[in-house]
Structure 1
């Protein structure tokens, strides 16, 4: 008993897990868990990298200062004779310092102040790691941050291997559901109900007039003299017929019983099968009892009514453009980007290109940087679902158009899929 109950609970859990709500919950929890995992793996390493970069930068900075001072000590105060030579040497020293600084990647942060109110902000904070997790499983891959530790890279590979199929499965299911919802809204509102499918009833209720009862509750077929069976002539063995159904030449045998074989005039045995009078003696329906008859005449109509409503490509493109425009306005206000830069980021992100040259929340001096990263992650998740919906609608519309063209050209029949 306990095993059956356990199996039933497992089946219910698995059914919920792979439902639309369950898949969305799994993706969200997977991203949240990825944020905590990568934050734990890379946060401490970020500070350690800062210390290593500063240790490389400090000697190079001191060497650059010594080189500049040596130039001034060799040539003294710049004048008309030595000014050109001093400028060439100082410029060479500064260019070397610039290239080495860019190679090291140190930006002058105070590494000991990480995590303090006025100190530098971690790139691998939970919002930053959440944004990274979303870009990994959605195959966007901005590249603005990347794991540097051995364990971080190994976990990133395993995280992507499990997360990408989960994300694709969720987008496929959610996209189909949203497409059905959008078709319903389009049929009810945009088409003003003209695209509604008319369902023909599969059954018809017919009121049949009750039959007249004969005397002694006999069925009507027994008392009706005009019954068609009474009009059939009966042929006698000698060839004569009697319209009343009586055989004049040969009286019926008293020993004949149902199922017995009677010799026929031509020498063949005829088996007499008794009639089943149970159904014939059944009383007719009452006066107010309707009789329900199945009607299959609407099967052809159902095939016509089951046509899927397709949404025009223009409306689908308007939905995509509207979502990109809304994101452009939102990120333009948050990041102080111009409208072209904001729209460029939204398109590159939703199309999963992900150059990474424009990413929200990278200005870590901004106190709203963490909120912008969370907002960017939410925008990406919802945008991928809406884009999947639009792709599903566009696919149905293109298939419908191709089928229509094929029917016009005579390549396809109307009944062909």
Structure 2
């Protein structure tokens, strides 16, 4: 019985492919982001030196202490400087947004437990919540698959089945991208005051569970930041995340299956070519062996069938073709 699943050779090949892909990605982003980062840091360095030069009353160590404290609660520090009301991010809606990012493994990083009891509770909560959420997303993905199957049965072009299948696939992808990317991106662009490109970037980073946290929707700083509409906006946003995760995981699984099928097909074709080549070589060797055996048998029978008669003499050498025989006869007594 052959073991199921990929073998070590396929796993090693896949590991090498992933490592090469990661190295290529690292080289690309290092080239794109490296110089702009150095430029930003040089500008920040010039700004800080200029600030200290223009504000000689501010001590260097005091500024370091201020920046260290601000780094812990940057948003709150901005609100404090703006004389806004002190509020907590850990109200029910804020905590709801936090647990959604936990169980979906998005993890923006903008909100994290600071107490030891909160960190322990997070570990226990995530161990239970992540599997349950994955099961729910799996079921939701199956429902979306059924819906896409029904759409795939539409006869937009009944005369040509291949064209009809292609049109149905385009319709499914277009509907998904429109409902879960384009329309939400337009809404985020208006409410969060982002560009459309930034909103699309946020949609992909969120639904792919990458979750950098550089752009976060449904926070307090937006056009619906007040109570009521802002809370409803947060809930709708995280419901969108759940449906979007199911759709994007379905799309990623489809792309993965296409790659797997292509790899298996290439492996099968390569195996068939090798087997055909080995079979051809075996046939050639068999033919060659039979020919050699037949030639040897003909030579052997030819040698055995020949009779050579020696003329008078004690030792006479006689040649017939390429075969030389030496026959020694005894002299008869007179």
TM-score by length of 1: 0.42
Mapped pair 1:363 → 2:220: yes
Counterparts in 2 of 1:316 and 1:393: CA distance versus 1, 3 Å: farther
CA distance in 1, matches of 2:155, 2:259: 22
Residue in structure 1 matched with residue 239 of structure 2 by the alignment:
378
RMSD: 3.8
Counterparts in 2 of 1:195 and 1:152: CA distance versus 1, 3 Å: farther
Q: How far does residue 398 in structure 1 lie from its aligned partner after superposition?
A: 4.9
Residue in structure 2 matched with residue 125 of structure 1 by the alignment:
91
1:143 to 109, 117, 121: 109
Q: How far does residue 168 in structure 1 lie from its aligned partner after superposition?
A: 1.7
Once the two structures are overlaid, the 10-residue window that deviates more, 336-345 or 393-402, is: 393-402
Residue in structure 1 matched with residue 187 of structure 2 by the alignment:
330
Mapped pair 1:391 → 2:252: yes
Residue in structure 2 matched with residue 242 of structure 1 by the alignment:
none
Q: Give the structure, 1 or 2, with the largest relative contact order (CA under 8 Å, sep 6 or more).
A: 1
Q: How far does residue 348 in structure 1 lie from its aligned partner after superposition?
A: 0.5
Residue in structure 1 matched with residue 77 of structure 2 by the alignment:
107
CA distance in 2, matches of 1:150, 1:173: 35
Q: How far does residue 314 in structure 1 lie from its aligned partner after superposition?
A: 5.8
Residue pair 2:101, 2:108 contacting (<8 A) in 1 also: yes
Counterparts in 2 of 1:180 and 1:89: CA distance versus 1, 3 Å: closer
Structure showing the higher helix proportion among its residues: 2
Residue in structure 1 matched with residue 205 of structure 2 by the alignment:
348
Q: How far does residue 311 in structure 1 lie from its aligned partner after superposition?
A: 9.3
Counterparts in 2 of 1:152 and 1:327: CA distance versus 1, 3 Å: same
Residue pair 1:171, 1:384 contacting (<8 A) in 2 also: yes
Counterparts in 2 of 1:179 and 1:395: CA distance versus 1, 3 Å: farther
Residue pair 2:202, 2:216 contacting (<8 A) in 1 also: yes
Residue pair 1:313, 1:394 contacting (<8 A) in 2 also: no
Counterparts in 2 of 1:168 and 1:362: CA distance versus 1, 3 Å: same
Counterparts in 2 of 1:123 and 1:409: CA distance versus 1, 3 Å: same
Q: How far does residue 406 in structure 1 lie from its aligned partner after superposition?
A: 7.4
Counterparts in 2 of 1:399 and 1:103: CA distance versus 1, 3 Å: closer
2:131 to 165, 178, 184: 165
CA distance in 2, matches of 1:131, 1:194: 48
CA distance in 2, matches of 1:317, 1:135: 26
DSSP 3-state at the match of 1:145: coil
Residue pair 2:207, 2:244 contacting (<8 A) in 1 also: yes
Residue pair 1:179, 1:393 contacting (<8 A) in 2 also: no
CA distance in 1, matches of 2:260, 2:79: 57
* Number of aligned positions between the proteins: 208
Q: How far does residue 97 in structure 1 lie from its aligned partner after superposition?
A: 4.3
Any idea what the Cα deviations from partners look like across 1:307-346, whole Å, max 9, x if unmatched? xx99987666545543222221111111111111111111
Residue pair 1:316, 1:390 contacting (<8 A) in 2 also: no
Counterparts in 2 of 1:183 and 1:328: CA distance versus 1, 3 Å: same
Any idea what the Cα deviations from partners look like across 1:270-302, whole Å, max 9, x if unmatched? xxxxxxxxxxxxxxxxxxxxxxxxxxxxxxxxx
TM-score by length of 2: 0.52
CA distance in 2, matches of 1:166, 1:189: 38
Counterparts in 2 of 1:109 and 1:391: CA distance versus 1, 3 Å: closer
2:144 to 178, 181, 198: 178
Listed as ranges, the gaps of 5+ residues in structure 1 are 1-86, 197-308, 413-417
Counterparts in 2 of 1:188 and 1:321: CA distance versus 1, 3 Å: closer
Counterparts in 2 of 1:90 and 1:391: CA distance versus 1, 3 Å: closer
Q: How far does residue 393 in structure 1 lie from its aligned partner after superposition?
A: 3.7
Residue pair 2:151, 2:172 contacting (<8 A) in 1 also: no
DSSP 3-state at the match of 1:352: coil
Q: How far does residue 161 in structure 1 lie from its aligned partner after superposition?
A: 0.6
